[in-house]
Amino acid sequence: MSKNKSEYLINRQDNQYEVVIGLEVHAQVTSQSKLFSTSATKFGAEPNTQVSLVDAAFPGMLPVINEYCVKQAIKTGIGLKAKINKRSVFDRKNYFYADLPQGYQISQFKDPIVGEGKVILDMPDGQKEVGIERLHLEQDAGKSIHDLDPKNTFVDLNRSGVALMEIVSKPDLRSPDEVNAYIKKLRSIMRYLGTCDGNMQEGSLRADVNVSVRKKGSKEFGTRCEIKNVNSIKFMQMAIEYEANRQVDLIEDGQTIDQETRLFDTKKNETRSMRSKEDAHDYRYFPDPDLLPLEVSDDFIENLKSEIPELPDEKKKRFIEKFKLSPYEANILVSDIETSNYFENVIKKSDVKLATNWIIGELFAALNEKNLEITESPVSAGNLSKLINLIKDGTISGKIAKTVFEQMMEGNKDPKKIVEEKGLKQESDPKALEALIDKVIDDNRDKATEYKSGKVKLFGFFVGQVMKVSGGKANPQLVNEILKKKL
């Protein structure tokens, strides 16, 4: 393992430290209505417009479980290859806060709906399995807004009661890169399943990060610190780097690490103590007496299993076997359900190899430049497919295709039309090409002489000149052949 290139170690003089990371990911369940009420869950609605009497905890109001959210959680559990618990219990987590109307959060403490599972990461040096400890359902709190008024805090309860899945990993992660891969994989699985949109900007996915360090080779875990509520992968990675180094420095300095909850300050790029273990809340968990234990039957679970689509790991396997893609290519294409759908649509009617290269190369670069998701791509799968076919049948060269593609990116135009309108069709008529080539040789007599006297490198110069004169339309293969003969 020491040869392992991606091994992430912190070095201090003679000591090497390994970082141990576990994540508690909070993923918002994709659902029309909340976990225990019928209010809507749309993001970005006017404050307090999606709040029922239950969400605002009016006297005598009672929670009623949303079956759809239960199904979503179980599906996610299946996607994580996890044990589905046929009996789970909702508990109350008691604490006071202005944006927690009930004075408690309904969560699952002792008996979660999903037990142990696993996630496979594709790292540069091979696969890595990360254990899932559990997945449980819980309510989100509302939002306190402190910066609208100098003296008052405003509360928006739109989020109050929205269903979250808390997915707890085992402390199996060892580097910021693995955390990156883990979050992306988790997100990918949930997006395939349609159980969480994974939108980190909108807060649909956020995580508490547990970090500890230990000397390399040590079997025991160090004291961990929990960094609360980090909402981007970049910040998670920065927080881990900062926190791991902070802990190593403490140990090197002969000090001990206090188990505590910390916050990541994104402006200063540092973690700060939020509360120590001694100050930790006593949440007084107990089973919610307003809700009976949640029991699901084998049939219920089996039915959900039958609704599970092909997931990234299986899809990757299929792409490699069926389309002879490299593991690298397959990984990229299956990482996101939208990308894999796009890919499969393109190859319905065109060459797999070309499609793979065009999607991973030109399309991704262009989308990246315009900061667009694949679902927003100006070039539809159908039109990309047409473009690839134009290359394949020799109508246009790869180079011209790039020009056509650029125009397609400006608006989803049919590549055939662009080629026709702009007269970009590839010149493959040998006679026309010969005339062109004769003229180029004529114009560059001296270079032709040099070539003939042994300066073979000049061949490229002639190809370039021909292409230039043809406006890039000359069929490169034919140009090569004819040039060789003529020179």
Partner 1 sequence: MSDITKQSLSGLVENIKSKKLSSSEVTKAFVERSEKSKELNAYITEDYTNALNKAKKFDEKPNLDLKLPGIPMAVKDLFCTKDLKTTAGSKILNNFVPTYESTVTQNIWNEGAILMGKLNCDEFAMGSSNETSFFGNVQNPIDKNLVPGGSSGGSSSAVAAQLTPITIGTDTGGSIRQPASFTGTVGLKPTYGSCSRYGIVAFASSLDQAGPMAHNVKDCALLQEVISTYDEKDSTSIDFKRNEYSKELTKDIKGKKIGIPKEYRVDGMPKEIEDLWKKGIEYAKDCGAEIIDISLPHTNYALPTYYIVAPAEASSNLARYDGVKYGFRADGENLIDMYEKTRSEGFGAEVQRRIMIGTYVLSSGYYDAYYLKAQKVRKLIKNDFDDAYKKVDAILTPSTPSSAFKIGEKTNDPVSMYLNDIFTVPVNLAGLPGISIPAGHDAKGYPLGLQIIGKAFDEQNILNIAYAMEEKINFKNNITDWWIK
Candidate list 45, 87, 286, 394; residue touching partner 1; CB under 8 A: 286
Q: By C-beta, is 289 or 411 nearer to partner 1?
A: 289
| Residue 290 within binding range of partner 1, rule CB under 8 A | yes
Roughly how many angstroms between the first and final C-alpha of the chain, as a whole number? 57
Q: In the complex, what is the shortest distance from the CB of residue 415 to partner 1, in angstroms, rounded to a whole number?
A: 56
Among the listed residues 141, 59, 152, 69, the one whose alpha carbon sits nearest the alpha carbon of residue 106:
141
CA separation for the pair 419, 410 (Å, rounded) = 15
Site for partner 1 in 22-41 (CB under 8 A): none
Count of residues of this chain found to bind partner 1 when the rule CB under 8 A is applied? 31
| Residue 432 within binding range of partner 1, rule CB under 8 A | no
Among the listed residues 306, 103, 74, the one whose alpha carbon sits nearest the alpha carbon of residue 195:
74
Residues ≥6 apart with Cβ < 8 Å to 354:
388, 391, 392
| Residue 101 within binding range of partner 1, rule CB under 8 A | yes
Helices 327-334 and 337-346, packing angle to 10 deg: 110
Q: Please give the sequence-ordered ranges of beta strands (E in DSSP) within 389-445, or none if there are none.
A: none
Q: Enumerate the β-bridge partners of residue 130.
A: 119
Kindly tell me the burial class for residue 357, based on how many C-beta atoms sit within 10 Å of its own C-beta (0-12, 13-18, 19 or more): middle
Q: Please give the sequence-ordered ranges of beta strands (E in DSSP) within 108-258, or none if there are none.
A: 117-123, 126-139, 143-145, 154-156, 163-169, 205-215, 225-230
Candidate list 45, 53, 365, 456; residue touching partner 1; CB under 8 A: 53
Q: By C-beta, is 154 or 364 nearer to partner 1?
A: 154
Q: By C-beta, is 292 or 432 nearer to partner 1?
A: 292
| Residue 435 within binding range of partner 1, rule CB under 8 A | no
Q: By C-beta, is 300 or 364 nearer to partner 1?
A: 300
| Residue 58 within binding range of partner 1, rule CB under 8 A | yes
Q: By C-beta, is 155 or 381 nearer to partner 1?
A: 155
| Residue 104 within binding range of partner 1, rule CB under 8 A | yes
Q: How many other β-carbons are positioned within 10 Å of the β-carbon of residue 451?
A: 19
Q: Please give the sequence-ordered ranges of beta strands (E in DSSP) within 13-63, or none if there are none.
A: 15-28
Candidate list 1, 3, 13, 60; residue touching partner 1; CB under 8 A: 60
CA separation for the pair 51, 256 (Å, rounded) = 46
Q: By C-beta, is 60 or 454 nearer to partner 1?
A: 60
| Residue 328 within binding range of partner 1, rule CB under 8 A | no
Q: By C-beta, is 285 or 364 nearer to partner 1?
A: 285
Q: By C-beta, is 57 or 458 nearer to partner 1?
A: 57
Q: If residue 92 lies in a helix (H) or strand (E), which one and from where to where? A: strand 91-94
CA separation for the pair 2, 138 (Å, rounded) = 41
Candidate list 46, 147, 149, 282; residue touching partner 1; CB under 8 A: 282
Among the listed ranges 195-203, 283-291, 305-313, 427-435, the one in contact with partner 1 (CB under 8 A) is 283-291
H helix and E strand count, the chain: 16, 16
Among the listed ranges 4-12, 55-63, 132-140, 339-347, the one in contact with partner 1 (CB under 8 A) is 55-63
The token pair at 355 is 């499609």
| Residue 65 within binding range of partner 1, rule CB under 8 A | yes
Backbone φ and ψ of 286, nearest 5° = -155, 155
Site for partner 1 in 135-164 (CB under 8 A): 153, 155
Site for partner 1 in 70-99 (CB under 8 A): 92, 94, 96-98
- Contact footprint for partner 1 (CB under 8 A): 53, 56-65, 92, 94, 96-98, 101-104, 153, 155, 282, 284-286, 288-292
